[in-house]
Amino acid sequence: MDKPVRAFKYAVLIPYALFSVLPFIWMLSASLKRPEDVLTVPVQWIPPVWQPRNYLQALLEPRFAGYSLSTFMVNSIFVALATSLLSVVLSTFVGYGFAKFKFHSRDALLWGMLSTTLLPFSSVIIPLYLIIRMLGLLDNLWALIIPFALTGQSIFLARQFILTLPSELIDAARVDGAGELQIFIRVIFPLLGPAIVTLGFMTFLFSWNQFLWPLVVLSSQREFTLPLGLSLMGLGSTFLVDYHLWMAAATLAVLPPLLFFLVLERPYLRGLETLSGLKE
Amino acid sequence: MTYKICCLRRDLKYGLFFISPSVVFFLLFWIMPVLLALYYSLTRWKVGRPGTFIGFKNYTNLLTDPQFHRSIQASLTITLLAVAGTMVLSLILAVLLNDEHLRGGRLMKTLIILPVVTDWVATGLVWQLIFLPHSGVLAGIFSFLGLRELMGLGWTATKSLAPFAIVIFIVWKTTGLYTIIFLAGLRSIPRQYTEAALVDGANAWQAFVNITLPLLRPITVFVLVTAFVNTMGLFEPVFMLTGGGPSDATRVLPIFLYETFFQFRNGGYASAAGVLFLVLCLGFALLSARSLQYSYYE
């Protein structure tokens, strides 16, 4: 390709890539600064004095009614892992039903479940809150796990992956006398390695980054997740203008998803493509 | 023949067995909430007290409530600006990245997706400091560029600027996602089509407009619907940057719902607003449903 075209590509792509990444670099830099170095004109991209103890202070100081960010971090990890595990098991189970069995109005049912992804979650948050209250799960971490352990998206994702497995495998197992549940556990599930990584990671991201729902169902700080703790900082009352600590906390919150993403970029992109209907 | 009947039965029995968890979830967490919302929307109900049936009064009140009007206006303004910005940007980025020989292409793709995988609250804290007047990051950049008079702009505290601050944050956070989807769409178009047009004497722009864009239509519709619905439902960026102010300029529907229910405890009224919100998104989705279904089931 000719040079001017390539130069034009870089002239657009490089500034946008910088725009994407600079807020993270600034955050990381500010998280290592002394408070007086955080907001300066001109912007200091490299801390003049390094202060890594900000992280310990942000993580361990019990500023939230006696609890610290480390408690919230443990809660976040528990919720995200539990949701991902449940989602992997449940969605592959259900996805297998949709992919490999034919029955009346199966596709209509799948389409109906998939259409829930076209409705914004925040529009059903009030009645959902009432249902969680009826189930007695208010102010309980399981309220953040159960409703998201099986979603239209995760079912569709699992179904698309299972469709690609040859049905002959299932028939062969039947001839050998295996039961239907046994076939799922022994034959199908072990073949879903890459799909499980994709599904698990996408659910992990969703769960880890959730904010509105925990804000609605959790009330005691012992149960708070990381984003809730961070939002309390932003409201100013607990941390006031300790911007260096805000940024240390924000860095701690974005680090797990970013690290996982750098390792799992390929399965994640594959998942996005599957959800958009581009890969069978 | 007998074999077929056995299999139909087996498929029905075990098919239903395997999908049964999804039926429970679907009923409990989608059908029930929607039915409950419909029911409560017809009552006058303060949370914590029994409700009384009042018919469509909540809906007629909403339609004449100036705050609800401002809320819809704020939602539509922010959503339309953000969706337009994200779609144009992500299509451009995807077209430019659709070149396997571009050096550094993979790295730039990775960098562009980073905001997508992180959360709204942590990045919201960063954007709060970016937008801070006089001493924030943007003010520092303005000063570096010699635009000192722009340093004092109250991005999140001025009525005319606050929606734009939120739109910028949303565009930054979501463009990577749609870039990836557009990129996958572009890669699914066989190269021969555009190459044939180029051989026949079309220029690159003509080939893009007349061949690539029409072939990309299903994916464009998918991105449009997904982006519209996702952005309409966003609570976090507003909560983090402006909290709905100044003077309702950014009090979007999710914020309105949240405040009406959890702060003012107006259960019936909030439910009615939620139902209207659902109908708005459903209407938009149905308008584009045909093309969507095509892209899922081709």
Q: What digits encode the pLDDT tens for the residues B84-142? A: 999 999 999 999 999 888 888 899 999 999 999 999 999 999 999 999 888 888 888 88
Give the pLDDT confidence of A37-68 residue by residue, as tens digits.
Answer: 888 878 888 898 899 898 998 888 888 888 88
- Point out the residue among B132, B219, B234 whose CB comes nearest to the CB of A278: B219
Q: Which domain holds residue B223?
A: 66-297
- Range with the poorest average pLDDT among A108-117, A208-217, B31-40: A108-117
Q: What is the pLDDT of residue B296?
A: 47
Whether the CB-CB separation of A92 and A156 falls below 8 Å is answered with no
Give the pLDDT confidence of B235-253 residue by residue, as tens digits.
Answer: 999 999 998 878 888 999 9
Q: Does the structure show a pLDDT above 50 at B297?
A: no
Q: Do B172 and A9 touch (CB under 8 A)?
A: no
- Å between B193 CA and nearest CA of chain A: 18
In a domain, B257, yes or no: yes
Q: What is the pLDDT of residue B152?
A: 81
Best CA proximity match to B136, nearest among A11, A30, A162, A214: A30
Q: Which two tokens stand for residue A185?
A: 């556990």
Q: What percent of chain A has pLDDT over 90?
A: 49
Whether A7 has its CB under 8 Å from any CB of chain B: the answer is no
In a domain, B155, yes or no: yes
pLDDT confidence band for B151 (50 / 70 / 90): confident
A17 contacts in B (CB within 8 Å)? 107-108, 111-112
Q: What value does the mean pLDDT take over residues B53-61? A: 87
- Range with the poorest average pLDDT among A78-92, A255-269, B135-149: B135-149
Q: What is the pLDDT of residue B6?
A: 65
Check residue B44 and report its DSSP letter.
E
Q: Do B8 and A102 touch (CB under 8 A)?
A: yes
Q: Does the structure show a pLDDT above 70 at B207?
A: yes
Q: Does the structure show a pLDDT above 90 at A259?
A: yes
Total structural domains in chain B? Answer: 1
Q: What is the pLDDT of residue B287?
A: 79
Whether the CB-CB separation of A260 and A201 falls below 8 Å is answered with yes
**Closest-CA residue of chain B to A256:** B118
Q: Do A122 and B257 touch (CB under 8 A)?
A: yes
B293 contacts in A (CB within 8 Å)? 111
Q: What value does the mean pLDDT take over residues A245-259? A: 93
Q: Does the structure show a pLDDT above 60 at B17?
A: yes
Give CA angle at A257 (A255, A259), nearest 5°: 65
- Å between A13 CA and nearest CA of chain B: 7
Please identify which residue in the block is written with the tokens 């700080």: A221
Q: What is the pLDDT of residue B5?
A: 62
Q: What value does the mean pLDDT take over residues A131-158? A: 92
In a domain, B193, yes or no: yes
Q: Does the structure show a pLDDT above 90 at B75?
A: yes
Between the two ends of chain B, the Cα-to-Cα distance in Å is 31
List all residues of chain A from 168 to 197 with a beta carbon under 8 Å from chain B: 180, 184
Q: Which two tokens stand for residue B33?
A: 């909430």
Q: Tell me if residue A220 falls in helix, strand or coil.
A: coil
B245, amino acid identity: G
- Point out the residue among A212, A253, A262 whose CB comes nearest to the CB of B236: A212
pLDDT confidence band for B46 (50 / 70 / 90): confident
Give CA angle at B272 (B266, B277), nearest 5°: 120
A208, amino acid identity: W
Give the pLDDT confidence of A1-20 residue by residue, as tens digits.
Answer: 577 888 888 999 999 999 99
Q: What is the pLDDT of residue A235?
A: 59
- The rounded distance, in Å, linking the Cα atoms of B196 and B202 is 9
CATH, residue B256: 1.10.3720.10
Q: Which residues pair with B46 in a beta bridge?
A: B266
Whether the CB-CB separation of A195 and A268 falls below 8 Å is answered with no
Q: What is the pLDDT of residue A116?
A: 82
In a domain, B33, yes or no: no
Q: What value does the mean pLDDT take over residues B194-221? A: 85
In a domain, B15, yes or no: no
Whether the CB-CB separation of A211 and B120 falls below 8 Å is answered with yes
Q: Can you list the alpha helix ranges (DSSP code H) found in chain B? A: 2-26, 32-40, 57-63, 66-97, 105-117, 120-131, 137-144, 162-187, 191-199, 204-207, 213-215, 217-232, 236-241, 253-258, 267-287, 289-297
Give CA angle at B164 (B163, B165), nearest 5°: 90
Show contacts of A36-39: CB within 8 Å, 24+ apart: A38/A243, A38/A244, A38/A247, A38/B129, A39/A243, A39/B129, A39/B132, A39/B135, A39/B136
**Closest-CA residue of chain A to B276:** A123
Q: Does the structure show a pLDDT above 60 at B290?
A: yes
Give CA angle at A253 (A255, A245), nearest 5°: 110
Q: What is the pLDDT of residue A150?
A: 93
In a domain, B44, yes or no: no
Q: Does the structure show a pLDDT above 60 at A148?
A: yes
- The rounded distance, in Å, linking the Cα atoms of A83 and A103 is 29
Those residues whose C-beta lies under 8 Å from the C-beta of residue A270, and which sit 6 or more positions away, are: A194, A198, A279
Q: Do B123 and A9 touch (CB under 8 A)?
A: no
Q: What is the pLDDT of residue B298?
A: 40
Q: Does the structure show a pLDDT above 60 at A278?
A: yes
- The rounded distance, in Å, linking the Cα atoms of A88 and A91 is 6
Q: Which CATH number fits domain A57-275: 1.10.630.10, 3.40.50.720, 1.10.3720.10, 3.10.350.10?
A: 1.10.3720.10
- The rounded distance, in Å, linking the Cα atoms of B249 and B192 is 50
- Point out the residue among B11, B120, B139 whose CB comes nearest to the CB of A41: B139
Q: What percent of chain B has pLDDT over 70?
A: 95
Q: Do B32 and A40 touch (CB under 8 A)?
A: no
Q: What is the pLDDT of residue B1?
A: 41
- Point out the residue among B11, B89, B102 whose CB comes nearest to the CB of A102: B11
Q: What is the pLDDT of residue B209?
A: 86
Q: What percent of chain A has pLDDT over 70?
A: 96
- The rounded distance, in Å, linking the Cα atoms of A90 and A94 is 6
Q: Which residues pair with B52 in a beta bridge?
A: B44
Q: Does the structure show a pLDDT above 90 at B197?
A: no
A27 contacts in B (CB within 8 Å)? 126
Q: What is the pLDDT of residue A76?
A: 96
Whether A240 has its CB under 8 Å from any CB of chain B: the answer is no
* Residues carrying CATH 1.10.3720.10, chain A: 57-275
